[in-house]
């Protein structure tokens, strides 16, 4: 619990410092210290690595995975926050950022419904404020307003779902709920109450992960705000939403005898297709990345769908939930890196926003823009799933998890559907490559022909270091995915053959 | 020992980065420093490694090999699958067991290759300091050279077929980059392209061979992998102790074995320039001469020989494939020697000579078993020294003559270039196979094993082919030598006032290589040291034990004959060249006219018309096909692709309109989605 407390105190300290104009510059220091200290504590607690003992239950590794992810993202986002852009509200922005990270870590480690919900809301509330405080984006009010209203709506739906869950299971603790659903609470009376709970929870979380048709806000909001906020919105809520989906849908409800996988399959197909085909039309970089993030949610849902179909204790060499988690890690690193790379670019005093602004970046005379161009290309290739990079292994794992079910020698009627799901995923991966390559093409194969525009330049900020770190990670995971796969595997609830038989006496999965 | 194994390739890799980063701005004309330092350290390290391996093997009768695993690449194995034996042909999902351990190994075979590669690399990079100075691409040159040394040392020390393929391609890339180093010359660019394309053919076969290996053996490792804790066997490597200890039982036989061996040999043919894929090597001489010495004579082109020697158990399982190796090798040796007889470009003569000598190595390998591997590898080892020496000597001539290498335009250079003259003579004698120089012993070894092979008349035929080749080798070598260094002094105008001996930094490698060419054969050949050392290589030890082939030197009956015959061939060739090119001119003209009148001369001069044949049979039809295909692609396929590509875009255009920007519409869409999901779940 100590890392969470440290972050919480850091956030409070930042908010307090904001009230005193003379010392508010110190909030930078406080924020960095809080994240680094929390990281050190997590490191000491987990032996610097999610090096799990075999006996360790999945949710412990799961919590640690999201702690590391939150802290890593915290460092990248802290580095990308441009000092001076919103100087008046710097302290408040940093406080919100720390709260959002705290939210992700709480969701990852939550052992009961209340903590889970509070963690999610912590991210949402912090995002509202960040969106509103941001003066760098072109249309901050519109972005903040849209996100606020639609997010509240989705939170209400989610909470409504939680109330059904509580009502049917009679408990708030996740392990008790698991037990209750395993013993038939989900199909109490007629099955419609369980279905209600599942669909409401899924719909509420679908907003966070930008699944179709709950995705509409993303392109408008990303476009209206700054690169840093778009980065935050495309990684933190998505990671938290995925964590909650795994915990609630996969950890609890899948044992309840509902054909949930059909629902997630439909959502996955819709999401991945809509995200990719609309992205083909985009010329605004943040809008493009928004549709890209929608499409990636769809890819992750393919892994989820595969995991949903595991009925009886059965070992799957390509575990769906593990594949999802690996994909999430690869996606988060590449997306945060891409936004960080965009945030350091400037044309004159204007941020780089459109595809045309990237023209000829790789042919620049200075070294720094060329480095950014190469890094951005690496992130795009990773997102597109080109072999030696992290994203490739993510796509491979997700598709194989679907194929694995599809090819299993069982009498199940779902086999052919899962095969089709993998095929649709693969087709979409090809479509997706088209728009990522357009970004690369703009940087590498076109001349900067506009005379009226100023040369692209790099503002030296810590974000360049963050870009480098993301680049190294993308390459490292791509070259040696094994240990990362095993980490994702150990954090996956379906990797353990006995997902339905979690004992009541298990210690609560708290921090 | 583990540190040394890793250190050898890592030094040149570090040099690549240092030179590439600092070369253009900081190092400039000192760009050779990282490369030379790295090569020197790598050479010393590989000498030390060789000694350590020697001590380790001398102590025991058992074969010796050590591996160092750096990391597991592409390792997707789930924990519960780890430690299970991979089942062959378990289908695509068996990828869950696939992994490529980045493992370096050392055994006698690797140790010998490492020493050869690093030694030649060091000398050539020292030589290049003088040869390449003032070149605008100085740092680029040394970056490529370092990259090559790294790739080549990795190629001979990896312990996995997938990685072997990776570095096989990497040395090919370096070769391509260095052939086209002066890319502004159209011939150089075209030669680079040709080398690349011809090698693709070979590599395609190699890749198919790897697929077949994976699907029939379920692993691509050379070595056996054992569980780190319990020590129990996880998978038996293709060339590991488990399989080789089982002798012939460890390997598949029949058609699959034949296919694997032949496909691997196709790869070797591409890289080692064997007929019919030899056409790229003569053109590769467009690159800087030190590159020709290092890559296209001493090291990279011998990768195919190394690979076949390494995979000898696989080839031993398919005697038919060995026969194919022998026939191709023998034919190539004769063909290339025949072409070399009449060429006028000194470097081209040496290039055809390299092809011919590589053919000899494959001739030796074709005997199979330990004897074949030793014969091939020994010739590889000695050839590296004297062929590098000859190329560097030719480079020294070029350096003095302002880049002219045409034997019709130079001549009588022995007074102007005394050091080059002396060292070149040593190289020529070694290549011709004159006692007691290096080439004599290794060529004799090959002819000896061919003579003793019981496999039937074919091997005896190959023996005579080898003898004929030796005669031609001696002739063309000394023809070139006499034309360049004897007779009337002839200096082209391009030389200007620079027609003098090369600087010491270029002469030093020449002298060292000359001394090596004098002694390495006598030291390692007759003493049997090379053979007893190589026999401790795990894969080769096994084929020696299998005993399906004649034991090497079991009886030396007929060996004296072989020695006598090969010496006669060499002396006869040299004498012929001396008579024709040093004697009265009338004789030469007479012979030339006679040869011309029956068409032999033209046949040889025009390289047996193989390039023209390829142009007629492959290039022109392909080009015609390409024109048709381009038209088809442009007007038919493109339209179809555009249509298919438009489909997602069209769907996107439709869906895009849904994105109106109005919050109420978004909210109602969300609610509508929610209700649909709910209805779907409750109703179905």
Give the number of other CB atoms < 10 A from CB of residue A289.
30
Q: Which residues of chain B have pLDDT under 70?
A: 74-98, 227-231, 234, 246-249, 455-456, 498, 544-558, 585-586, 608, 684
Residue B277 pLDDT: 86
Residue B491 pLDDT: 78
Instruction: Please give the average per-residue pLDDT across A172-182, as a whole number.
Output: 85
Count how many pairs of residues, chain A against chain B, have C-beta atoms within 8 Å: 131
Which residues face B100 on adjacent strands? B73
Residue B665 pLDDT: 85
Residue B253 pLDDT: 78
Q: What pLDDT band is residue A509 in, cutting at 50, 70 and 90?
A: very low
Distance CA B466, CA B463 (A): 5
Write out chain A residues lying below 8 Å of B669, CB-based.
Answer: 213, 216
Q: pLDDT tens digit string along A204-238?
A: 999 999 998 888 899 989 988 888 889 999 999 99
Q: What pLDDT band is residue A190 in, cutting at 50, 70 and 90?
A: low
Residue B455 pLDDT: 64
Considering only CB atoms, B77 lies closest to which of A267, A279, A482, namely A482
Q: Among positive and negative, which fits the CA dihedral B48, B50, B52, B58?
A: negative
Q: pLDDT tens digit string along A6-27?
A: 999 999 998 888 888 787 778 8
Q: Is the Cβ pair B681, A258 closer than 8 Å? A: yes
Residue B151 pLDDT: 93
Report yes or no: A80 and A131 within 8 Å, Cβ to Cβ. no
Of A188-192, A429-433, B481-485, the poorest mean pLDDT is in: A188-192
Q: For residue B71, what is the nearest residue in chain A, using CA coordinates?
A: A480
Question: Taking 60 as the threshold, does the pLDDT of residue A500 lie above it?
Answer: no
Residue B46 pLDDT: 92
Q: How far is A456 from chain B (nearest CA, A)?
A: 23
Considering only CB atoms, A146 lies closest to which of B71, B93, B663, namely B663
Q: For residue B663, what is the nearest residue in chain A, using CA coordinates?
A: A146
Mutate to test the interface with B, among A159, A317, A322, A428 (most CBs of B within 10 A): A317
Q: What pLDDT band is residue A407 in, cutting at 50, 70 and 90?
A: low
Q: How far is A452 from chain B (nearest CA, A)?
A: 31
Give the helix/strand (H/E) hosting B67.
strand B66-73
Residue A256 pLDDT: 59
Helices (H), A226-283: 227-245, 260-279
Report yes or no: A237 and A100 within 8 Å, Cβ to Cβ. no
Write out chain B residues lying below 8 Å of A393, CB-based.
Answer: 76
Distance CA B184, CA B176 (A): 14
Domain ranges for chain A, please list them. Answer: 2-490
Q: How far is B655 from chain A (nearest CA, A)?
A: 7
Residue A413 pLDDT: 65
Chain B residue set in contact with A, beta carbons under 8 Å: 71-81, 91-93, 95-97, 99, 645, 648-649, 651-653, 655-656, 658-659, 661, 663, 665-667, 669-670, 672-674, 677-678, 680-682, 684
Question: Taking 50 as the threshold, does the pLDDT of residue A499 lie above it?
Answer: no
Give the number of other CB atoms < 10 A from CB of residue A172.
16
Q: Is the Cβ pair A198, B681 closer than 8 Å? A: yes
Q: pLDDT tens digit string along A446-482?
A: 877 665 556 777 776 788 899 999 999 999 998 888 7
For residues A390 and A498, the model is more confident at A390
Give the helix/strand (H/E) hosting B73.
strand B66-73
Report yes or no: A403 and A418 within 8 Å, Cβ to Cβ. yes
Q: What is the biggest distance separating any 2 CA atoms in chain B, rounded to whole angstroms?
A: 107
Distance CA B445, CA B562 (A): 9
Supply the DSSP string of A68-132, one letter for each residue: HHHHHHHHHHHHHS-TTTTGGGHHHHHHHHHHHHHHHHHHHH--BHHHHHHHHHHHHHHHHHHHH
Q: pLDDT tens digit string along A313-348?
A: 455 667 888 889 999 999 999 999 999 999 888 887
Considering only CB atoms, B661 lies closest to which of A220, A396, A486, namely A220
Q: Is the Cβ pair A214, B661 closer than 8 Å? A: no
Q: Is the Cβ pair B74, A202 closer than 8 Å? A: no
Write out chain A residues lying below 8 Å of B666, CB-based.
Answer: 146, 150, 216-217
Q: Is the Cβ pair A482, B656 closer than 8 Å? A: no
Q: How far is B519 from chain A (nearest CA, A)?
A: 45
In whole numbers, what is the pLDDT of chain A averaged over residues? Answer: 83
Give the number of other CB atoms < 10 A from CB of residue B89.
9
Mutate to test the interface with A, among B86, B95, B163, B674 (most CBs of A within 10 A): B674
Distance CA A181, CA A163 (A): 15
Provide, rounded to the nearest whole percent, the portion of chain B with pLDDT above 90: 13
Q: CA geometry: angle at B173 spanning B169 and B176, to 5°? A: 135
Contacts of A15 (CB under 8 A, 6+ apart): A91, A92, A95
Q: For residue B97, what is the nearest residue in chain A, using CA coordinates?
A: A317
Q: Is the Cβ pair B645, A434 closer than 8 Å? A: yes
Write out chain A residues lying below 8 Å of B658, CB-based.
Answer: 216
Predicted ipTM? 0.79
Q: For residue B662, what is the nearest residue in chain A, using CA coordinates?
A: A146
Give the number of other CB atoms < 10 A from CB of residue A133.
18
Instruction: Please give the average per-residue pLDDT across A79-98, as a whole number.
Output: 77
Instruction: Please give the average per-residue pLDDT across A126-130, as a whole number.
Output: 91
Q: How far is B156 from chain A (nearest CA, A)?
A: 22
Q: Is the Cβ pair A479, B81 closer than 8 Å? A: no
Task: Give the DSSP letter of residue B88.
Answer: T
Contacts of A378 (CB under 8 A, 6+ apart): A389, A471, A474, A475
Q: Which of B388, B491, B428 is nearest to B124 (CA)?
A: B388
Report yes or no: B66 and B537 within 8 Å, Cβ to Cβ. no
């Amino acid at each position: 619990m100590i890392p969470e407390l440290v972050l919480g105190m850091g956030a409070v300290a930042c908010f307090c410092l904001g009230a005193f104009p003379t010392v508010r510059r110190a909030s930078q220091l406080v924020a960095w210290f809080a994240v680094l200290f929390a990281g050190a504590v997590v490191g000491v607690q987990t032996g610097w690595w999610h090096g799990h003992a075999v006996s360790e239950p999945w949710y412990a590794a799961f919590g640690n995975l999201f702690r590391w992810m939150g802290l890593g993202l915290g460092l990248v986002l802290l580095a990308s926050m441009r000092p001076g852009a919103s100087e008046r509200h710097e302290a408040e922005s940093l406080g919100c950022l720390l709260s959002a990270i705290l939210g992700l870590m709480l969701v990852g480690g939550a052992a009961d419904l209340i903590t889970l919900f509070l963690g999610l809301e912590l991210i949402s509330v912090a995002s509202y404020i960040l969106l509103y405080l941001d003066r760098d984006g072109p249309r901050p009010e519109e972005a903040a307003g849209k996100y606020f209203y639609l997010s509240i709506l989705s939170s209400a739906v989610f909470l409504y779902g939680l109330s059904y869950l509580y009502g049917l299971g009679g408990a708030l603790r996740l392990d008790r709920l698991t037990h209750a659903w395993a013993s038939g609470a989900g199909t109490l009376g007629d099955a419609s109450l369980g279905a209600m709970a599942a669909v409401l929870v899924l719909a509420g979380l679908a907003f966070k992960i930008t699944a179709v048709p709950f995705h509409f806000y993303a392109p408008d909001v990303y476009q209206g705000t700054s690169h840093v906020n778009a980065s935050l919105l495309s990684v933190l809520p998505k990671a938290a939403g995925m964590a909650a989906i795994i915990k609630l849908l996969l950890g609890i409800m899948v044992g309840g005898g509902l054909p949930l996988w059909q629902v997630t399959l439909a959502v996955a197909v819709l999401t991945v297709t809509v995200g990719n085909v609309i992205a083909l039309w985009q010329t605004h970089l943040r809008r493009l990345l928004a549709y890209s993030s929608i499409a990636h949610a769809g890819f992750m849902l393919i892994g989820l769908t595969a995991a949903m179909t595991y009925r009886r204790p059965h070992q799957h060499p390509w575990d769906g939930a593990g594949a999802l988690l690996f994909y999430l890690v690869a996606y988060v690193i590449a997306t945060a890196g891409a936004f960080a790379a965009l945030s350091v670019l400037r044309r004159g005093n204007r941020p780089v926003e459109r595809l045309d602004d990237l023209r000829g970046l790789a042919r620049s005379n200075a070294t720094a823009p060329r480095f950014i161009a190469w890094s951005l290309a690496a992130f795009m290739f990773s997102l597109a799933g080109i072999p030696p990079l992290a994203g490739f292994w993510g796509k491979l794992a997700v598709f194989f998890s679907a194929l694995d079910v599809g090819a299993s020698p069982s009498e199940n009627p779902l086999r052919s559907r899962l095969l089709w799901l993998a095929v649709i995923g693969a087709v979409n991966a090809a479509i997706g490559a088209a728009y990522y390559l357009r970004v690369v093409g703009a940087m590498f194969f076109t001349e900067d022909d506009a005379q009226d525009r100023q040369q692209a330049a790099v503002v030296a900020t810590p974000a360049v270091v963050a870009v480098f770190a993301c680049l190294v990670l993308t390459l490292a995971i791509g070259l040696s995915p094994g240990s990362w796969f095993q980490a994702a595997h150990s954090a996956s609830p379906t990797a353990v053959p006995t997902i339905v038989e979690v004992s009541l006496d298990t210690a609560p999965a708290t921090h | 020992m583990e540190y040394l194994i890793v250190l050898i390739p890592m030094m040149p890799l570090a040099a690549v980065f240092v030179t590439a980063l600092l070369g253009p701005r900081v190092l400039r004309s000192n760009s050779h420093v990282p490369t030379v330092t790295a090569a020197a350290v790598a050479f010393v390290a590989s000498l030390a490694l060789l000694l350590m391996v020697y001590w380790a093997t001398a102590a025991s009768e058992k074969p010796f090999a050590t591996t160092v695993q750096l990391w597991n690449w592409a390792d997707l194995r789930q924990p519960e699958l780890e430690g299970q034996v991979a089942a062959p042909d378990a289908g695509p999902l068996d990828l869950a067991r696939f992994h490529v351990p980045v493992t370096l190994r050392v055994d006698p075979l690797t140790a010998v290759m490492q020493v050869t590669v690093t030694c030649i690399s060091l000398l050539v990079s020292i030589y290049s300091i003088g040869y390449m100075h003032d070149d605008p691409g100085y740092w680029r040159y040394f970056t490529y050279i370092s990259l090559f040394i790294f790739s080549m040392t990795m190629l001979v020390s990896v312990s996995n077929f997938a990685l072997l393929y990776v570095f096989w391609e990497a040395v090919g890339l370096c070769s391509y980059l260095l052939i086209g180093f002066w890319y502004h010359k159209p011939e150089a660019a075209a030669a680079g392209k040709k080398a690349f394309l011809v090698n693709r053919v070979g590599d395609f076969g190699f890749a198919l061979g790897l697929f077949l290996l994976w699907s029939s053996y379920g692993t691509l490792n050379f070595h056996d992998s054992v569980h780190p804790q319990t020590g129990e066997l996880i998978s038996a490597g293709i060339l590991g102790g488990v399989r080789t200890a089982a002798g012939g039982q460890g390997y598949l036989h029949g058609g699959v074995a034949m296919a694997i061996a032949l496909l691997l040999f196709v790869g070797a043919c591409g890289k080692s320039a064997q007929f019919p894929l030899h056409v790229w090597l003569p053109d590769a001489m467009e690159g800087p001469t030190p590159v020709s010495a290092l890559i296209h004579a001493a090291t990279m082109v011998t990768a195919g020989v190394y690979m076949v020697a390494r995979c000898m158990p696989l080839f031993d399982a398919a005697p038919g494939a060995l026969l194919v190796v022998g026939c191709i090798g023998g034919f190539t040796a004769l063909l290339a020697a025949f072409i070399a007889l009449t060429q006028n470009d000194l470097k081209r003569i040496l290039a055809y000579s390299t092809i011919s000598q590589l053919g000899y190595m494959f001739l030796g390998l074709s005997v199979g078993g330990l004897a074949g591997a030793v014969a091939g590898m020994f010739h590889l080892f000695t050839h590296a020294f004297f062929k590098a020496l000859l190329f560097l000597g030719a480079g020294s001539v070029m350096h003095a003559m302002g880049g002219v290498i045409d034997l019709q335009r130079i001549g009588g250079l022995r007074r102007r270039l005394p050091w080059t003259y002396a060292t070149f003579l040593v190289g020529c004698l070694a290549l011709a196979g004159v006692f007691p120089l290096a080439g004599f012993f290794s060529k004799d070894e090959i002819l000896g094993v061919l003579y003793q092979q019981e496999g039937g008349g074919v091997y005896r035929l190959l023996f005579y082919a080898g003898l004929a080749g030796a005669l031609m080798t001696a002739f063309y070598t000394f023809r070139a030598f006499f034309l360049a260094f004897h007779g009337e002094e002839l200096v082209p105008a391009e030389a200007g006032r620079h027609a003098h001996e090369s600087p010491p930094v270029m002469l030093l490698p020449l002298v060292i290589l000359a001394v090596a060419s004098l002694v390495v054969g006598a030291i390692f050949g007759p003493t049997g040291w090379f053979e007893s050392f190589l026999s401790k290589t795990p894969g080769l030890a096994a084929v020696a034990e299998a005993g399906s082939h004649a034991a090497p030197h079991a009886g030396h009956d007929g060996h004296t004959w072989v020695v006598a015959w090969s010496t006669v061939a060499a002396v006869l060739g040299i004498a012929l060249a001396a008579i024709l090119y040093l004697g009265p001119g009338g004789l030469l003209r007479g012979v030339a006219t006679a040869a011309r009148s029956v068409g032999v001369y033209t046949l040889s001069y025009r390289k047996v018309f193989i390039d023209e044949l390829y142009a007629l049979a492959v290039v022109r039809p392909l080009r015609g096909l390409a024109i048709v295909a381009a038209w088809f692609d442009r007007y038919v396929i493109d339209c179809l692709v555009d249509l298919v590509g438009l489909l997602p875009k069209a769907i996107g255009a439709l869906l895009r309109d849904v994105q109106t920007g109005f919050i109420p519409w978004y909210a109602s869409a969300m609610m509508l989605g929610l209700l649909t999901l709910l209805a779907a779940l409750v109703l179905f």
